């Protein structure tokens, strides 16, 4: 919820500020702990050493709630760099906003461009595939519009930055768990794996490299890689994502 103070966010959760901050700190500690566990593997640590991020450069992670998470793949990446390459002072910017479609990302992308990132890692499109209502007749964003939005994001970056780009396909979900989740079902929100797979196919057609999370998570997704809502990655799932990102970029 960008633009809201910590005090207001704490009140929205029915918490005092100290309890709210303690919760945030716990999630951050989880992300740092995940980074430490990954770095215990010497081969993976060597991959982090080889990441093509120059000292003092900026890396932006663009996405939705899967990125906008205090223990997301991007936050784990932040800790990996802090633990393994602190002298490089690489700035990691979390440009994920929960619930966003690619159309909404495009509308705010000037803020990303203004940071002049050296790298943009984009995981977008899960919410494009979202449907609402008990008998939905369309996704939030059509597949053709998703394709045009991704091209527009890439053109926006290419004409105003020198950023290199990496795409992540959306991962599959567990439809039955989404339907049973009290919060998601109260919104009459649903995601179907066939629609998510169509978005993933569009991401694979982009001219830049991509990491295919569909193959990593499985279809439907492995329950161990998602939290109980069947939609969002668990910490184990986030570790799978960051491992794939690091391994791909270290070989680029």
Report the CATH architecture of 6-250.
3-Layer(aba) Sandwich (3.40)
Distance CA 165, CA 113 (A): 13
Q: What is the pLDDT of residue 1?
A: 60
Domains in the chain: boundaries? 6-250
Distance CA 88, CA 110 (A): 26
What is the Cβ-side half-sphere exposure of residue 3, based on CA atoms within 13 angstroms?
1
Q: Which of 144, 62, 67 is nearest to 95 (CA)?
A: 62
CA distance readout (Å), 144 to 5, 129, 149, 151: 37, 12, 9, 11
Q: For residue 230, give the 3-state DSSP assignment.
A: coil
Residues of the chain predicted below pLDDT 70? 1-2
Distance CA 172, CA 111 (A): 29
Residues 6+ apart with CB under 8 A from 21: 6, 10
Q: What is the pLDDT of residue 99?
A: 95
SS (H, E, C) 169-218: CCCCCCHHHHHHCHHHHHCCEEECHHHHHHHHHHHHCCCCCEECHHHHHC
Q: What is the pLDDT of residue 2?
A: 61
Residues 6+ apart with CB under 8 A from 106: 149, 152, 153, 156
Distance CA 138, CA 130 (A): 9
Tokens of 39: 């770095």
β-strand partners of 226:
233
Q: What is the pLDDT of residue 194?
A: 97
φ and ψ at residue 218, rounded to 5 degrees = 85, 165
Distance CA 209, CA 167 (A): 6
Tokens of 202: 């569009």
Distance CA 97, CA 15 (A): 22
Tokens of 124: 């977008």
């Amino acid at each position: 919820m960008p633009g809201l103070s910590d005090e207001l966010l704490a009140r929205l959760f029915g918490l005092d500020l100290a309890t709210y901050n303690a919760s945030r700190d716990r999630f951050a500690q989880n992300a740092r702990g995940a980074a430490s566990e990954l770095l215990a593997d010497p081969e993976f640590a060597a991959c982090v050493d080889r990441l093509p991020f120059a000292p003092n450069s900026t890396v932006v992670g663009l996405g939705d709630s899967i990125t906008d998470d205090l223990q997301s793949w991007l936050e784990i990446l932040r800790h990996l760099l802090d633990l393994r390459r602190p002298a490089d002072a690489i700035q990691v910017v979390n440009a994920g906003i929960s619930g966003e479609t690619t159309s909404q990302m495009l509308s705010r992308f000037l803020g990303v461009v203004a940071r002049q990132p050296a790298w943009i890692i984009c995981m977008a499109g899960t919410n494009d595939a979202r449907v609402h209502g008990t008998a939905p007749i369309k996704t939030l964003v059509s597949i053709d519009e998703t394709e045009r939005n991704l091209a527009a994001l890439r053109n926006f970056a290419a004409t105003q930055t020198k950023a290199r780009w990496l795409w992540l396909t959306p991962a599959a979900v567990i439809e039955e768990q989404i339907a049973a989740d009290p919060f998601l079902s109260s919104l009459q929100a649903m995601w179907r794996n066939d629609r998510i797979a169509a978005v993933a196919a569009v991401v694979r057609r982009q001219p830049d490299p991509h990491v295919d999370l569909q193959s990593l998570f499985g279809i439907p997704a492995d329950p161990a890689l998602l939290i109980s809502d069947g939609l969002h990655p668990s910490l184990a799932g986030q570790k799978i994502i960051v491992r794939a990102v690091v391994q791909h970029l270290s070989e680029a």
